[in-house]
Amino acid sequence: MEIIKSSADLYAAYKEIAQKAADLNNASAVLGWDQEVYMPAKGFEVRGRQLATLASLAHEMLTAEPYGNLLTELAGRGDLTDDEKRNVVLSLEDYNKNKQLTPAFVEAITQQTSASYNAWIQSRKENKFSIYAPELDKMIALKKQQADMYGYDKHPYDALLDEYEKGANVTLLDAVFGDVKQQLPPLLNKIKQATQVDDSFFNKHYPKQQQWDFSIDVLLAMGYDFEAGRQDMSEHPFTTSFAPTDVRVTTRVDEDNYASLLWSSIHEGGHALYEQGLPIAQYGLPLGAAASLGIHESQSRLWENNVGRGRLFWHHFYPMLQQYFPQQLQDVTVDDFYKGMNKVEPSLIRTEADEVTYHFHVLIRYEIEKDLISGELYTEDLPETWNSMYDKYLGVSAKDDKTGVLQDVHWAHGSFGYFPTYSLGSFYAAQFYQQTAQEISSLNDDITNGRLTGLTDWLRGKVHQYGRRYTSEELCKRITGKGLDFNTFMQYAGQKYAGIYGL
């Protein structure tokens, strides 16, 4: 006689499998963090094997037929709580998607990620794209294969986009970036015709330790929990999470360019606050994971731009900064500092771009990787295409590969479909911040006086606590009453830069 298990028993079995797979993935994340922060150069080959083994084991657990049967059984039960039902539905979607990838493919792409990253590092050191190109070409081939495995209706890039921004597709993004191409150039042209602000004081000598110490002060004020995280240095700033109780950020320093470290720390701190705010009780389950990369990016861009590059923030923090750098900033007023940090000028480096030109950097990457995946662009043509597009959209051209096609690590990681989420995040951030100002009457006074945790608490209640319960659009509508609205960003940017440049 077959024993019919209770829903509670079945859910406990599901939870155990999902959390064990999460343990493996988070062990991989620890190795990945070490690879980018501390690992010696000779460790790359074996580290690739280690990461591939863990990824393959996790994939096998989450694509095993008994696990799928368990999810199907649970999905048909009517006595689950709302949270349990949502976890099961999302896990079943993930299961069906993961089943499209074979264990051999997962192992191959994980190993290729390590090889591509190593080649990217070497290429940057020697400033030669040709070192990276063969490994990148292998990665692109694997991503095309992955798109075919997932399946798609119109464009192979759609299949890869869905990994980062559920529901996004080329049709949607072409429309969004169509708005960027139509509405941002007039603002940029007005700024070009205005008197340029001075930011030369950023290029004085700012010792590393003082930069570092001030960034720690700011992260603490934001509410980042250093008992559940840490900050380190890496080639490319990033945030990684192993659980809400262990979320780490990295940054990079340039002693002759103060702008390099601080806003990277604030940006990554925004990501980290999101991860630390996810419910620990849902560890390893969909409701314990971020809604999407677009929403994730909304958190980092909100803190970096709407707050960290805002005038109110520096009323409190600028006197502190002057204590760290009295000689460098003794003749620089807070208004000078505010205007200088928001200087708009076409440039080559995405991570250091201003809020207006930033979205052209993302647009270029979106159009390039879309064509790489469709086969309309070949790897060997990337440097030339890159420079041509930078000239077209921003009127600048890279003097070498390091400041051009080699500046981002994303393609080495296989993160095709990731870049558009940066712009989507900025647009969501503008809407969320506008809504915050409407709901927290003391927000301006709080930020002016360095009290930032009220904003953190609002984001915890509106965004962080829900995990993957809602899609980006559903969450945006829940918070602001409408979906993604580029016009809100344009209103914010127009007002901000009109004040800075006297437009």
83 CB-side CA count, 13 A: 11
pLDDT tens-digit series, residues 84-130: 999 999 999 999 998 998 889 988 998 899 899 999 999 999 999 99
Average pLDDT over residues 172-177: 93
3-state percent breakdown (helix, strand, coil) of the chain, nearest 5: 70, 5, 25
The predicted model gives 327-339 an average pLDDT of 96
- Average pLDDT on 440-455 reads 96
What pTM does this model have? 0.91
Nearest Cα to Cα of residue 65 among 17, 9, 22: 17
Quick one: pLDDT at residue 442?
96
Q: What is the mean pLDDT of residues 129-138?
A: 97
pLDDT (0 to 100) of residue 3: 59
- The single residue of 268, 275, 369, 473 carrying the catalytic annotation is 268
Q: What percent of the chain has pLDDT over 70?
A: 99
Is residue 2 over pLDDT 60?
A: no
Mean pLDDT rounded to a whole number for the chain: 94
1 — pLDDT class (breaks 50, 70, 90): very low
Say yes or no to pLDDT of 245 above 50: yes
Residue 4 has a pLDDT of 63
**CA separation for the pair 386, 173 (Å, rounded):** 20
Do residues 320 and 291 make contact, with C-beta atoms less than 8 angstroms apart? no
Write out pLDDT tens, residues 193-244.
999 999 999 999 999 999 999 999 999 999 999 999 999 998 788 999 999 9
Over its C-alpha atoms, the chain yields an Rg (Å, rounded) of 23
- Of the candidates 130, 156, 185, the residue with the CA atom closest to the CA atom of residue 490: 185
How would you classify residue 290: left for phi > 0, otherwise alpha for psi between -120 and 50, otherwise beta? beta
Contact at 8 Å (CB) between 229 and 244?
Answer: no
Q: What percentage of the chain exceeds 90 in pLDDT?
A: 88
Q: Give the residue from 468, 164, 83 showing the smallest Cα distance to 288.
A: 468
pLDDT at res. 110: 87
Q: Is the dihedral of CA 467, 472, 475, 480 positive or negative?
A: positive
Active-site annotation holds for 268: yes
Residue 426: C-alpha distances to residues 294, 379, 417, 493 (Å): 8, 29, 16, 11
**pLDDT digits 0-9 by tens, 50-64:** 988 998 899 999 999
Q: What is the pLDDT of residues 436-446, one digit of tens each?
A: 999 999 999 99
